[in-house]
């Protein structure tokens, strides 16, 4: 049997990580190793040549998912004309119908929060999830008014991200019903006011 090159090994590992990052956001941490490998286009038997356990891969996939979200959030902030516009872009992008319909490429917070809470404290996904959450809180805090002190900006960001994630969890659970759109619209209005300034189209979170 021909020996697999280092480059091919690295490509296979990247394929597993990419597929897993998407699949765990779509289906949660209960997804099987066989399903993860199938999604990557590889056989089940090759899994342990790359990772020691499913828990290790879940933590890596979670970290990668947060990195994707952080990159999008930072881009929105960088492209905004001021902090108010940055916060509006973050909120409106997050609380969108498009984001609701694309959990596999969206923020891991609404997709994984419940599953992570059910994991033991010794599981490696916990630190990955917490680090990702802190990164997003920091970005959202940077979009708060500059007149506020650090503690207040963080406190406001915590309340805002909790509202955004909670609304998205419920909106996804009721997708297809009128209340789903109502949840997104009401949360957005609560965070930005009844007539937020139009900052143009935004990409999904």
What number of CA atoms fall less than 13 Å from residue 25's CA on the CB side?
A: 29
Give whole-number Cα distances, 126 to 26, 172, 194, in Å.
19, 23, 37
Q: How confident is the model at residue 1, as a pLDDT?
A: 42
Inside any domain, residue 139: yes
User: How many angstroms separate the Cα of 31 from the Cα of each of 6, 19, 58, 99, 111?
Assistant: 28, 12, 10, 22, 13
Q: Which domain holds residue 123?
A: 54-192
The two three-digit tokens of residue 102, written as one number: 């694309």
Half-sphere exposure of 182 (CA within 13 A, CB side): 4
Q: How far does Cα 196 stand from its chain's mean position?
A: 24
Q: Would you say residue 99 lies in a domain?
A: yes
The structural domain count of the chain equals 1
Q: Does residue 22 sit within a domain?
A: no
Q: Is residue 25 part of a domain?
A: no
User: For every residue of 66-83, which 3-state class applies, written as one string?
Assistant: HHHHHHHHHHHHHHCCCH
Mean pLDDT by groups of 10 residues along the chain of 205 residues: 71 92 94 92 84 93 96 97 97 96 95 93 93 98 96 98 98 97 97 67 56
In-domain check, residue 81? yes
pLDDT of amino acid 162: 98
CA dihedral 77, 81, 86, 90 (to 10 degrees): -80
Tokens representing 163 are 């509202």
CATH, residue 88: 1.10.357.10
Helix axes 125-142, 108-118, angle to 10 degrees: 140
How many of the other CB atoms lie within 10 Å of CB of 153? 21
The answer to whether residue 105 sits within a structural domain is yes
């Amino acid at each position: 049997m021909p020996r697999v090159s280092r480059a091919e090994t690295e490509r296979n590992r990247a394929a597993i990580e990419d597929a897993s990052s998407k699949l765990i956001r779509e289906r949660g941490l209960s997804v099987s190793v066989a399903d993860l490998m199938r999604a990557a286009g590889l056989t089940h038997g090759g899994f342990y040549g790359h990772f020691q356990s499913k828990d290790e891969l879940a933590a890596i996939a979670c970290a990668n998912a947060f990195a994707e979200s952080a990159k999008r959030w930072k881009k929105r902030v960088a492209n905004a004309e001021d902090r108010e516009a940055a916060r509006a872009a973050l909120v409106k992008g997050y609380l969108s119908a498009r984001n609701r319909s694309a959990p596999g490429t969206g923020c891991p917070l609404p997709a994984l929060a419940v599953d992570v809470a059910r994991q033991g404290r010794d599981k490696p996904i916990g630190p990955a999830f917490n680090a990702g959450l802190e990164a997003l809180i920091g970005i959202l805090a940077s979009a708060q008014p500059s007149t506020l002190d650090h503690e207040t900006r963080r406190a406001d960001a915590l309340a805002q991200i909790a509202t955004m994630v909670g609304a998205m969890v419920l909106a996804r659970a009721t997708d297809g019903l009128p209340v789903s759109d109502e949840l997104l619209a009401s949360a957005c209005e609560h965070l930005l006011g009844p007539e937020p300034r139009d900052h143009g189209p935004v990409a999904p979170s």
